[in-house]
Amino acid sequence: MKNNFEEYYDLMLKNIRNGAFLTVADEERLNTMTIGWASIGHLWGKPIFTVMVRKSRFSYQLIERSNEFTVSLPAEGQLKKELIYCGRNSGRDVNKFEECGLTPVEGRVIKTPVIGEAMLHFECSVVYKQEMDKINLDPVYKDRWYSDDDYHTIYYGEILSVYLNR
């Protein structure tokens, strides 16, 4: 089956380091957090978007319940303050959507919303996940990112929909 998802991989991968919004929601709660890491590809015969969430995060509780997520990339130079705010604050303490004036817009395929003010959206359903095991991690990476033992869970999401802002 041919889709046009691949056209947008490049845009996401070239800009992910500047920050994107990872949005998660369960039945009652909604949150978004800033991510600067992601991987995209073709695994298990499907388009797959990989994200990482530390167990300490509020978003971790939500994605564990919903098994889905969206990633919304701002246009170049846009939403910089919002990305900083959503990276520094926890959804446990604040409603980031209200604080930043971000609009949750209903997903086209999944229940989790996307960020209305952003440019490019990926909607993904988690098909595999795994908690990191420090045994097989390069010691330099371990010291750099996990000195507090707060390891990531890696979520592999089947990409179900990709689109530019509407």
Instruction: List residues near a copy of itself by CB under 8 A.
Output: 6, 9-10, 13-14, 16-17, 36-45, 48, 50, 52, 126-130, 132-133, 136-138, 140-141, 144-145, 158
Smallest separation, CB 93 to a copy of itself (Å): 26
Which residue lies nearer to a copy of itself by CB, 37 or 109?
Answer: 37
Smallest separation, CB 97 to a copy of itself (Å): 26
Which residue lies nearer to a copy of itself by CB, 16 or 100?
Answer: 16
Burial class of residue 132, CB neighbours in 10 A (0-12, 13-18, 19+):
middle
Smallest separation, CB 155 to a copy of itself (Å): 10
Distance CA 114, CA 158 (A): 16
64 contact partners, CB below 8 Å, separation of at least 6 = none
Q: What SS3 state is found at 47? A: strand
Cβ pair 128, 157 in contact under 8 A: no
